[in-house]
């Protein structure tokens, strides 16, 4: 059942094999409204079934050799790379991804699988000094079953960056993809791993709505939840997870700042800013939302960014347009509300602010101030809001005025000065002389404040912390003697 063979999963989901659940939904193109395929919709009862399978299969998977688990990850990467066009096409059709973005995402998924293969083989603990004549060690052991709840915007990579390392470290996984991207963010990934030889039951996919996500959080045999999505949803999951004494890893929203300092190359800065704001229609947690520009460069920057936005078309990915559709009408209306409320509050619309169906024109808002919607809220659309600043102190206040803290870009002719400046602005990611959107499998990824609970993704260290428990073990040659 290769993932390029649609009949294998048409009307089904992956739950101990390809099954029907008694309920189905259509995968729909946001570009055309066309029905692409159908998939089986899961229920709370299916979450229980998936957990039953996971608990049983994980016992065997956990004691498989690290080499065996690594080999499955490597084979999955090879299957994916050999059939890249199929997943690219689904990312275009189902997620509204432009061709370049879709191909980039597939490459990231393959990188996560390769990294996971390496993670399976890294040292799994350390020897500790002890005041007694014994061997003392700390070792990392699998948590058991991991629940993954993933979003629609980069559906394949934002699922696989939790699924792959969790599996590689000996866990089973129950994955709930966003129902708007259930195929690209769930079924195709399961099919890839199945073809790579992952044992049945170690991974299940339960597409569905909030009720399925809630069942995943409530399931007592799932001790770790890895969630990527909105800050309000993350708060609710964290609150319930805390009551249940679960570990909840949250990668949430952002309203990321790009600081353009007085000595920056303004033409290069505007190009970087356009990429940061408009890539994938701004539907990225790392999107550049707030452009904070020194007053000496401000007018020129506004003019340049406006010109660039005016030349970027939005249209169906099949046409090669660099911007695709917003995922659905509800999200489009949220974007338009932010733009409208900002203009009503005094922001100046220089280009865009219009839409055709789900295609929202690249939009630039100038003279944005704290209190305006586009300054305060995560937009998740192709909107760049620009605010001037006069002094470094004012810049620091503006950056820190946001409760979000995911990614920060600083553009300058003095990178070492920017490095020192960044220490005054709490954030999970800093890019000096680059915009705010970037990701590499081996790099730590996570935000602070309203953007999440810190680094839980990227690299061996973060993945081991996220998906294992630390256990202290001692061993000595003879039974210890005591005075009792």
Q: How far is CA 215 from CA 45, 46, 126, 218, 237, in A?
A: 8, 9, 36, 5, 11
Q: In DSSP terms, which residues pair with 468 in a beta bridge?
A: 142
Give the CATH fold of the 6-252+452-473 domain.
Answer: Aldehyde Dehydrogenase; Chain A, domain 1 (3.40.605)
Does residue 112 carry a catalytic annotation? no
Give the CATH fold of the 256-432 domain.
Answer: Aldehyde Dehydrogenase; Chain A, domain 2 (3.40.309)
Q: Find the helix packing angle between 188-195 and 84-95, rounded to 10°.
A: 160
Q: Find the helix packing angle between 66-82 and 84-95, rounded to 10°.
A: 70
Active-site residue, from 92, 112, 251, 376: 251
**Is the pTM of the predicted complex or chain greater than 0.75?**
yes
Q: How far is C-alpha 22 from the chain's CA centre?
A: 30
Give the pLDDT score at 9.
83
Tokens read off for 376: 């305060």
Q: How far is C-alpha 14 from the chain's CA centre?
A: 22
Give the pLDDT score at 8.
74
Nearest alpha carbon to residue 387 among 362, 369, 399? 369
State the span(s) of the chain assigned CATH 3.40.605.10: 6-252+452-473
Active-site residue, from 94, 112, 194, 285: 285
- In 3-state terms, the chain is what percent helix, strand and coil (to 5)? 40, 20, 35
State the span(s) of the chain assigned CATH 3.40.309.10: 256-432
Interatomic CA distance for residues 245 and 227, integer angstroms: 16
Tokens read off for 326: 């917003």
- What are the pLDDT tens digits along the chain (484 aa)? 345 566 678 999 999 999 999 999 999 999 999 999 999 999 999 999 999 999 999 999 999 999 999 999 999 999 999 999 999 999 999 999 999 999 999 999 999 999 999 999 999 999 999 999 999 999 999 999 999 999 999 999 999 999 999 999 999 999 999 999 999 999 999 999 999 999 999 999 999 999 999 999 999 999 999 999 999 999 999 999 999 999 999 999 999 999 999 999 999 999 999 999 999 999 999 999 999 999 999 999 999 999 999 999 999 999 999 999 999 999 999 999 999 999 999 999 999 999 999 999 999 999 999 999 999 999 999 999 999 999 999 999 999 999 999 999 999 999 999 999 999 999 999 999 999 999 999 999 999 999 998 877 888 999 999 999 999 999 999 999 999 9
Does residue 285 carry a catalytic annotation? yes
Give the pLDDT score at 330.
97
How many other β-carbons are positioned within 10 Å of the β-carbon of residue 6? Answer: 16
Ramachandran quadrant class, 357 (left: phi over 0; alpha: psi -120 to 50; beta: rest):
left
* CB burial of residue 90 (10 Å; 0-12, 13-18, 19+): buried
């Amino acid at each position: 059942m290769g993932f390029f063979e649609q009949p294998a999963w048409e009307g089904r989901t992956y739950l101990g094999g390809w099954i029907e659940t008694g309920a189905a939904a259509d995968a729909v193109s946001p570009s055309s409204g066309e029905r692409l395929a159908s998939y089986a919709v899961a229920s709370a009862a299916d979450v229980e079934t998936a957990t039953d399978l996971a608990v049983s299969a994980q016992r065997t998977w956990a004691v498989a050799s690290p080499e065996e688990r690594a080999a499955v990850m490597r084979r999955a990467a090879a299957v994916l790379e050999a059939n890249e066009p199929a997943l690219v096409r689904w990312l275009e059709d189902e997620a509204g991804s432009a061709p370049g973005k879709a191909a980039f995402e597939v490459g990231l998924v393959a990188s996560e699988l390769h990294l996971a293969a390496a993670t399976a083989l890294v040292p799994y603990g350390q020897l500790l000094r002890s005041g007694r004549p014994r061997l003392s060690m700390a070792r990392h052991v699998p948590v058991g079953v991991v629940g993954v709840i993933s979003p629609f915007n980069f559906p394949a990579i934002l699922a696989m960056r939790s699924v792959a390392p969790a599996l590689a470290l000996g866990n089973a996984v129950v994955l709930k993809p966003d129902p708007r991207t259930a195929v690209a963010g769930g079924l195709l990934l399961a099919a890839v791993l199945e073809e790579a030889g992952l044992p049945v039951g170690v991974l299940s996919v339960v597409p569905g709505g909030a009720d399925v996500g809630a069942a995943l959080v409530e399931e007592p045999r799932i001790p770790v939840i890895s969630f990527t999505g909105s800050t309000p949803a993350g708060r609710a999951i964290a609150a319930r997870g805390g009551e249940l004494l679960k570990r909840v890893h949250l990668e949430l929203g952002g309203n990321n700042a790009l600081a353009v300092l007085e000595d920056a190359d303004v033409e290069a800065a505007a190009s970087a800013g356009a990429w940061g704001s408009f890539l994938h229609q701004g539907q990225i947690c790392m999107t550049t939302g707030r452009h904070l520009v020194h007053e000496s460069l401000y007018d020129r920057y506004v003019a340049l960014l406006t010109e660039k936005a005016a030349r970027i078309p939005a249209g169906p990915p099949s046409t090669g347009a660099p911007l695709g559709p917003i995922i659905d009408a509800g999200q489009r209306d949220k974007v338009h509300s932010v733009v409208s409320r900002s203009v009503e509050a005094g922001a100046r619309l220089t280009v865009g602010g219009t839409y055709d169906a789900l295609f929202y024109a690249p939009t630039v808002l100038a003279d944005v101030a704290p209190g305006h919607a586009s300054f305060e809220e995560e937009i998740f659309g192709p909107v760049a809001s620009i605010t001037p600043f006069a002094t470094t102190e004012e810049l620091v206040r503006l950056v820190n005025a946001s409760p979000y803290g995911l990614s920060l870009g600083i553009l300058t002719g003095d990178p070492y000065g920017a490095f020192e400046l960044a220490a005054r602005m709490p954030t999970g990611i800093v890019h000096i002389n680059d915009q705010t959107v970037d990701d590499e499998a081996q790099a730590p990824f996570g935000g602070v404040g309203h953007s999440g609970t810190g680094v839980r993704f990227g690299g061996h260290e973060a993945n081991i912390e996220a998906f294992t428990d630390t256990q202290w073990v001692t061993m000595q040659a003879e039974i210890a003697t005591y005075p009792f």
